[in-house]
Structure 1
Amino acid sequence: MSTRQDSRVVKETQTTPSTREKESLLNQPKAVWAVFFASIIAFMGLGLVDPILTLIAEDLNASQSQVTLLFTSYNAVMAVAAIITGAISSRLGAKWTLICGIVIIALFSALGGLSNNIWAIVGWRAVWGLGNALFVATALVAIISLSKGGNAKAIILYEAAIGLGISVGPLLGGLLGGFSWRGPFLGVALLMVIAFFAVLIFMPTLKDQAAVKRGTSLAEPFRAMKHRSLVVFGIGAALYNFGFFTVLAYAPFVMGLDVHGLGYVFLAWGILLAITSVFMAPKLQQRMGTVRAMCLMFTLFAALLLAIGIWTNIHWVPIIAVILSGAVMGNNNTLVTTAVMNAAPVERSTASAAYNFLRFIGAAVAPYMAGKLAEWFNPHVPFITAAVFVILSGLIVGFNYHHVKHVDHAGSNH
């Protein structure tokens, strides 16, 4: 990381690097925990619908590929909206951008729960994706700016919130889905109302006055893509997301479980994701370096997807492989996020916007593609295809090692 970037980090946190390193991960201001709690609820939306996909398909007479559009519409809007998050947050400030995102998520998750046909839910999930885009990009920057202990600890906190949200989401989806598929949607809306008040009361107004004066341009995320390292990680994450969202959107259809069973499987998956993102990923970074550890995780994930693709009809194989994939994904999420934050000499919000735009393209295409591949061929093909994409992500990062290896040294500074 450049000297200019290091000085900005110090300025944002009003402390020295040595002081930051001594700070405990759990010794954080109330504002950090408010954003942390809101992040958990926001990321519940990702895994929330996993256990109820089959219920929605049955109740609303929808095909598997139509139901996977609940992920595709959500992620497609997140990809496009990622470009505008920097311009919005620079004008509103982190706090009010987060609050806007929370309000949109609460309102449109409630509307989804009150809908009576699959296309209405797909549409409301798309607008929900806009709220999540505003929230996700800003939450990471807010936690880094407000937290004590340095970049690395802040990213671990953020990834822990993601892991908890993703793990609790399926559990909540399974429990509330046992009454009705509408329950999880309405449950998230209620929890987001609580998150709204937490952020409103405890988070201070953070506003980058310099960014406001110059007016962050919509073109800045595209300008950031002139940095090859950022593009490499973005494309790698887009290909990796073909695997990630094939697991989330299509694996529920091949496990042969009811709504409660699916909830418990994805709970176990999410718990492993949360634990490894917080405790194992930093150790892998220290021992192997960020880039090499990332490529190892891509390889292991591809192997698990291939196992599901080969033994799709033996229900315990997808169940075990999906649960184990949580450990791989947890490590990889932290590794990639750390790498992106140190990849290019641009503002973090701009780097986050460019990266989210690239990665959510893969996240948007993958769910619908998985459903269609199963309809056109058989249930084995989506997982084998996803394994190929994940292998490609590892190859792209690996072949560009010379251009991205600097993130290993940048990460060690924090």
Structure 2
Amino acid sequence: MSRTDAQKKELKKLRNVDRAIADLRRGLPVVIIAGSEASVVLATEMAFAGELKELENLGGTPPVLALTAHRANVLHIKPTGDPAVRLKIEAWMDAPLMRALADATHDLDQPFRGPFTRLKGDLPEAIPAAIKLAKLARLLPSVLSTDLAANVAIELAKSADYSTVTLADISAFEATAAVHLKSVAAAHVPLQSAENTVFHAFRPEDGGIEHLAILVGDPNRHEPVLARLHSECFTGDLIGSLKCDCGEQLRGALKAISDAGGGVLLYLAQEGRGIGLINKLRAYKLQSQGFDTIDANERLGFDADERVFQPAAEMFLQLGFKKVRLMTNNPEKVDGLERHGIEVVERVTHKFPSNTHNELYLATKRKRSGHYL
């Protein structure tokens, strides 16, 4: 197989996953192939009575509701040791209730729910993959699923125009997209704190949101560069939210890099530690009910931090940097870069005073996430 054919094959896999992500956001079924078996899944958040009926009429096994282990624990469902739990859909569980079971912001509205019937036996491989797709779609990490033989599901997908994707494609999606980042635009953009600044935009080949590299000055590629990884934060960066320290970190990093004579800030499309803006707002609502930032994410069914740092490593490499002096208080960023070939020669402290709105948030990062604050 020629290199061009290999690239086309990889891009087709990316395209299949990207279409599946988009279809989940539209409330459409997606077929996940797992060897000789397959699952047809719907994102629970997007499932209404009509969508649920469509799933029931496919002729597969009775549909089940799948939740992450984090979310199941909140609902007092006994753990299985698997990353997800399947529940039997009882007669009293209509579509609105199942959407509420997936969304922790409704827990106080409907505190007495159940009992639930947890399904036993081996967890089908397609379930964690489907939940991963929901996360990539920035939806709540829960799906409704029915199982079919793979050959039947493939024919169904052709006749009904359902997206079809394999376990391997989902598993490799983020890493493949990161490796195939392309520089698509660059422009000089003078900033208040750093006038000699060039913005470089990097687009993943899956067509996802671009990441930005903000290059200040002309740092030497043969020496460790002063650098900052900054996950986008609409509320903190743009409109001055006091619930986090993101805006201060962003502007403070650019000033520090400029004062040092140059460096690079990567502005990553990873809102809300990778869960997306809407889910971050949901987490904020839970925080207003007394949960800390980690508990809020986990009550929604997410991990405490869903970010991956391979795109950042790839951007550094394309810009010509292999060693960095990283401005961070987060040990996970150091580990994440080093796992993908970037040497962090120094961790540079980067913190700002708390306020009455974010002091619990910062304390949680220090006590529970090991941040150096």
- State the TM bucket, normalised to the shorter chain: under 0.3
RCO greater where, 1 or 2, for CA within 8 Å and sep 6 or more? 1
Larger strand share, 1 or 2: 2
- TM-score, length-scaled by structure 1: 0.24
Larger CA Rg, structure 1 vs 2? 2
